[in-house]
Structure 1
Amino acid sequence: MAHPSLKAAFEAGRFVVAPGIFDMISARVADGMGFTSLYATGFGTVASHLGVADAGIATYTDMVGRVGAFARGCRTPVVADADTGYGGLLNVRHTVMGYEAAGVTGIQLEDQEMPKKCGHTPGRRVIPAEEMVLKIKVAAEARRDPNMLIVARTDARTTLGLEEAIRRGQLYADAGADVIFIESPETEAEMQAIGKAIRKPLLANMVEGGRTPILPARRLAEIGYAMAIYPAVGFLAVAAALERVYGHLKEQGDSNALPASDSYGFGRICELMGFPEVWEFDRKWAQPEGK
């Protein structure tokens, strides 16, 4: 079931910062930190699950199980990337219904051609705006819970320019999207223009090393944004940490000299993943020896 708290945050004007989650360890860590929402990143989820590029290779079946695990395993509302809806209008309907049944609170749909490409990378092309308008209308009709939010993303800025991206954002808002996501504005001035032109809650995609400047949450709120996602911050940090500790292991032949700061701690990870409950269950139902 979708969490009403995220919609309420937007209605109350509270700015939402959402870290990217990509596997259940990242989801559990983020879930315990008091965020208003979590963002199930397509790039990170595809990379961790399939080990391939986020380039339209993952299917609906690949993704719905993963985002469902995130939603079931977290108390925090999850907004999940659903690419293009994995096909035409009937596919979009099926995807929205499936993601809602899986327990996510928001579904992100984009206007790229299939196969899609990751945002902030070259070669992205978009479908006609009118086709995406129909997808959004189908998505809005398909959801059952009014707390289930539809995030409409346009990738038009990179190939068709800012004016067309803003026009599409306005069309998608009118079609029934709850949150508008204009991907890859390239300057703060462009972001300000978007903030002035779009009346629905706006999402900013803060990608380290990407095309869009990373602005503080306070500044984003000042120029008209309601939410910022940080899809890559987690998996970039994890990859760097793994490279560091694996390199140490390869060079030294053991892990004894690793700094304590490089380890989450075995006890903490057991607690994070729910082992105390398992141990309590075992104690409760332990059978006497020989029985």
Structure 2
Amino acid sequence: MPLTQPWESGLLSSLTGVGPGPSARDKRVALRSALAAATAVPGRGDALEPLVLPGATDALGARLVEEAGFAAVYATGAGLANAGFGLPDIGLVSQTEVADHAGRLTEATRIPLICDADTGYGGPLSAMRTVRLLERAGVAGLQLEDQETPKRCGHFDSHALIPSGHMQTKIAAACAARGAEPGAADALVIIARTDARSAHGIDEAIARGRAYAEAGADALFVEAPRTVEELALVGRELAGVPLIVNVVEGGKTPQLELAEYARLGFGVVLFANYLMRSMHLAGREALAHLRERGETASRAGRMATWSQRQNLFNLPAFSAAEAALDREPGGAK
């Protein structure tokens, strides 16, 4: 006779990070569905509903993105280098460090996570291993870019790229390494990014985008178009594939309204480091207040309350679960 569970139905499923939750497969299906809905189709005039993709540097950020109601979260490589290691975004964080980090974020949230995987950390074989490691970490999608190793932030200057054909091979190899068939509803999403606009101009960036889609990329990310006209050209020439625009406050790409990006053909609007930079300034102001005044009580209204903090991390549900599980089947404690 099966044991009677000493807890109420549904209690353990509320324990994000410990209890049961959406599988990696479920999250990949959800991400593919969102990308399909955010893809401009040539000749169809209906407006896109862009997928807004905030970036997070840690589990706290990922939980905040989910709490705010966004459908997916982006594990930012630049943010990890900055917030996790105190380093600039110049390719100093390793493959295994990123995979370990991504696993913590996927455990912390029930929404799909897209991971910035830089160049794949080497050639095609390294990209294949990156795919396997990040699949194991539970990510729903990853981004590969065509810079030489070590890479640099796309809004820095002086990029060096690998040949387009070499990047096609890397993409094809990464697609082949997935645990599901290319295009399957539960296949890891592979995003190809090109930094060719900075190195060779917008025409080369578009040509590379086409080549990378032919190699099997599920979505395209043309980094750092400089003008609205360039954004429109990308959207027009690469329509039919999910297109990502990266909004970098103070960066090279024009900052527009979501509806305008959608009109230009971009179904995914990435705000990779908006949250980190907002928290950076808030933290600096909080510490300046503490240093100058030696107290925090007068600033209580500008920080999360005790209950807000504990609720974000599900303390009430964990406490209830501890009490329920500290019993023998049948109710004896």
Once the 2 structures are TM-superposed, how far is the Cα of residue 25 of structure 1 from its aligned partner?
0.8
Query: 1:112-191 alignment to 2 at 5 Å?
Result: 112-145=147-180, 146=184, 147=186, 148-191=188-231
CA distance in 2, matches of 1:133, 1:243: 43
Counterpart Cα distance in 2 of 1:233 and 1:265:
23
Kept after mapping to 2: 8 A contact 1:9/1:15: no
Query: Which residue in the other structure is 2:5 paired with?
Result: none
Q: Which one of the candidate residues 281, 284, 288 is aligned to 1:240?
A: 281
1:49 deviation in Å?
1.5
Q: Distance in 1 between matches of 2:77 and 2:221?
A: 15
Alignment: residue pair count: 287
TM-score by length of 1: 0.95
Local SS of the residue matching 1:143: coil
Alignment of structure 1 residues 211-226 onto 2, 5 Å: 211-226=252-267
The equivalent residue for 1:249 is 290
- Runs of 4+ in structure 1 deviating by more than 6 angstroms, as ranges, are none
The answer to whether the 8 Å contact 2:90/2:150 transfers is yes
Tell me which residue corresponds to 2:232.
192
**Is 1:34 aligned to residue 61 of structure 2?**
no
Q: Evaluate the alpha carbon distance shift between residue 259 and residue 267 of structure 1 in structure 2; reply closer, same or farther with a 3 A threshold.
A: closer
CA separation of 1:94/1:283 partners in 2, compared to 1, >3 Å: closer, same or farther?
Answer: same
Match of residue 72 from structure 1: 107
**CA 1:180–1:285 in 2, change beyond 3 Å: closer, same or farther?**
closer
Matching residue within 12, 19, 24 for 2:37: 12
In structure 2, stretches of 5+ residues that fail to align are 1-23, 39-48, 328-333
Q: Which amino acid aligns with 1:283?
A: A
1:60 matches 2:95: yes
Deviation at 1:29, TM superposition (A): 0.8
CA RMSD of aligned residues (A): 1.6
Provide the residue aligned with 1:205 in structure 2. 246
The range that moved more, 275-284 or 98-107, is 275-284
How far apart are residue 185 of structure 1 and its match?
Answer: 0.4
Q: 1: CA distance between counterparts of 2:161 and 2:94?
A: 19
Shift of 1:53: 1.1
Identity of aligned residues (%): 36
Tell me the amino acid that sits aligned with residue 164 of structure 2: A
Q: Deviations over 1:208-247 (max 9, x none)?
A: 1110011211111111111011011101100000010100
Contact map agreement 1:152 1:181 (CA 8 A) in 2: yes
Cα gap change, 1:166 to 1:278, in 2 (>3 Å): same
Structure 2 counterpart of 1:9, one-letter code: A
Q: Please report how far the alpha carbon of residue 286 of structure 1 lies from its aligned counterpart in structure 2 after TM superposition.
A: 6.0
Q: Secondary structure at the match of 2:251?
A: coil
Partner Cα distance (1:208, 1:135) in 2? 31
Q: Which moved more, 1:278-287 or 1:47-56?
A: 278-287
Structure 1: which 5+ residue stretches go unaligned?
none
Residue equivalent to 1:93: 128
Match of 1:229 in 2: 270
- Code of the aligned partner of 1:280: A
Q: Please state how far the C-alpha of 1:259 moved relative to its aligned partner.
A: 5.0
Greater relative contact order (Cα < 8 A, sep 6+): 2
- Among candidates 140, 152, 167, match of residue 105 of structure 1: 140
Higher gyration radius (CA): 2
1:285: Cα distance to partner?
5.7
Looking at structure 2, the residues matched to 101 and 15 of structure 1 have their Cα atoms a distance apart, in angstroms, of 28
Cα offset, 1:45, TM superposition: 1.5
Aligned to 1:273: 313
Q: Given that residues 118 and 151 in structure 2 are in contact (C-alpha distance below 8 angstroms), is that contact kept between their aligned partners in structure 1?
A: yes
SS in 1 for 2:297: coil
Structure 2 contact 36–242 (Cα < 8 Å) conserved: no
Distance 1:11 1:282 in 2: 41
Q: What is the identity, as a one-letter code, of the residue corresponding to 1:206?
A: V
